[in-house]
Amino acid sequence: MKRIGYLGPSGTFTEAAARKYSGKGPAELVCCRSFPQIVSDVKSGLLDEGVVPLENSTEGAVSQILDLLAQEEGVMFRGEIVLSVRHNLLVRPGTEIKEIKKVLSHPQALAQCRGYLSRELPGAEIEETTSTARAASIVAGSAGPWAAIGTYLAAGNYSLNIAVAEIQDSSQNATRFIVLGKNDAGPGNNCRTSIIVEARDRPGALYGILREFALRDISLTRIESRPVKKRLGQYMFFIDLEGHRSDQKLGEALEAVTRKAYYLRILGSYPAAISLPPLEEPSPGQGKTLEEVRAEIDMVDSQIVELIGMRTRLVEKIAGVKSPGKIRDEAREEEVLRRVRSLAEAKGADPEMIESVYRIMITEYVKMQRGKVQERISGC
């Protein structure tokens, strides 16, 4: 039977995620004392798989997990679970809300209920614990008017009352958990791939990496930076991509990134969890402002000009090997025009406009090449 580790004690959200995942087949859930133990036991083979939280919709990435995964090789992502998170205020029987002097929970849970705590319990002391279940355990054994933020399961496990249900600040609060194993999952539909990349220390290095995915229409679903911890200002990037690493386009992109990046590690490919329902659609009055849209256009313009600059430098290289009588290659020009028209149709651009732009560019490039060839001949 498969052994799946989760952060204990019993009653944590990680246990709930592990139970949701293990519902797909028979498994033994193993309570672990810490996230490093989960990773270590998966790596050594004591556990077949382990479940750890990766990011929360309210508070973002779980930094402890990102740093742990960056340091520990030998484990891979092989699945994910998205769990809707509902936090509850747990107290010992007989404790009134107005009496509460201290609230305990995991840092992520406390952060996700920050608004409620400041509004309803402004005078209460806040204390961090290693897990929501650990907080429930402490409150259950205490004699003072304390409260824990935790799950329904924790309330039942430690004989606590739910003083107030669902105190999280966002009704859309959800946490994404990752399933760790010694190998990732095989190819399939609706897969996601996670990688760690450290860009070279030079201008445009990160853009050059991300460009490889954009050129191949590969969507990034998440990018998160963490310090490399070698020197100030040096960062690694955790990136999630649509597709399996064995897919041709993604495989080509990863090979290209390997050549450009200082360091690349594939964390794994795995089936993507079903997305949560989207947030409410904004009304017309809540859409982007004119200034915001113009700012996005300015950013796109910057990228277009940078790419034209790259193309110009490549054309200059070609001019260095052309002879005076062979500046124009009309067959090549027509091939380029056919290709960009096809790309325009696929990308939702006007093929006629794109062809017109490219005809102007080709004319200017021919002039430039003639000048470069003439300079080369004159200098001989």
**Residue-wise burial string across 339-352, b where 16 or more C-beta atoms lie within 10 A, e elsewhere:** ebbeebeeeeeeee
Q: Which residues, 6 or more positions from 245, have their beta carbon under 8 angstroms from its beta carbon?
A: 184, 193, 251, 254, 266, 269
Torsion 268-67-9-59 (CA) sign: negative
Looking at the predicted structure, is the pLDDT value of residue 326 above 80? no
User: Which pLDDT score is estimated for 309?
Assistant: 84
Do 345 and 315 share a structural domain?
yes
HSE at residue 70, side-chain half, CA atoms within 13 A, is 22
Assess contact for 24 and 78: CB atoms under 8 A.
no
CATH of the domain at 154: 3.40.190.10
Q: How do residues 20-45 score in pLDDT, each as one tens digit? A: 888 767 889 999 989 999 999 999 99
Cα gap 21→39, rounded to integer Å: 17
pLDDT at residue 276 tops 50: no
- Does the residue 62 lie in any domain? yes
Predicted confidence at residue 377, as pLDDT, reads 72
Is position 285 within any domain?
no
Average pLDDT for the chain? 86
Q: In this structure, what are the phi and psi dihedrals at residue 217, rounded to the nearest 5 degrees?
A: 60, 40
pLDDT tens string 104-132: 999 989 999 999 999 999 999 999 998 89
CATH number at residue 374: 1.20.59.10
Residue 299 has pLDDT above 80, yes or no: no
Residues 222 and 305 in one domain: no
Reported as a pLDDT band with limits 50, 70 and 90, residue 284 is very low
The 10s digit of each residue's pLDDT in 212-230 is: 998 888 999 999 888 877 6
pLDDT at 204: 80
Domain end, chosen from 221, 250, 279, is at 279
Task: Please give the residue range of the domain that contains residue 65.
Answer: 1-85+173-183
Counted domains in the chain = 4
273 and 301 belong to one structural domain: no
Q: What confidence score (pLDDT) does residue 293 get?
A: 65
Between CA 261 and CA 243 the distance in angstroms is 20
pTM (2 d.p.): 0.64
Kindly report the length of the chain: 380
**Residues 301 and 261 both lie in one domain:** no
Q: Same domain, yes or no, for 301 and 371? A: yes
The domain that contains 228 carries what CATH number?
3.30.70.260
Give the C-alpha separation, 263 to 199, whole Å. 7
CB 6 within 8 Å of CB 31: yes
Whether 119 and 200 share a structural domain: no
Which pLDDT belongs to residue 161? 94
Domain contains 115: yes
CA distance 76 to 89: 35
pLDDT in tens, 128-154: 998 899 999 999 999 889 999 998 888
Task: Give the pLDDT band (50/70/90) at residue 47.
Answer: very high
Structure token digits, residue 373: 């060839």
Q: What is the pLDDT of residues 165-212, one digit of tens each?
A: 999 998 788 889 999 999 999 998 889 999 999 988 787 888 889 989
Give domain status of residue 284, yes or no. no
Q: Quick one: 296 and 372 in the same domain? A: yes
pLDDT band at 10 (very low <50, low <70, confident <90, very high): confident
Examine the fold and report which residue of 279, 304, 322 is the final residue of a domain before the chain moves on.
279
What is the pLDDT, as a whole number, of residue 139? 96
pLDDT at residue number 233: 66
* Cα(267)–Cα(77) distance, integer angstroms: 6
Residue 112's nearest CA partner among 137, 83, 92 is: 83
Q: How far is CA 99 from the centre of its chain?
A: 41
| Pair (11, 30) in one structural domain | yes
Q: Is residue 148 part of a domain?
A: yes
Find out whether 362 and 327 touch, Cβ atoms under 8 Å. no
| Whether 258 and 124 share a structural domain | no
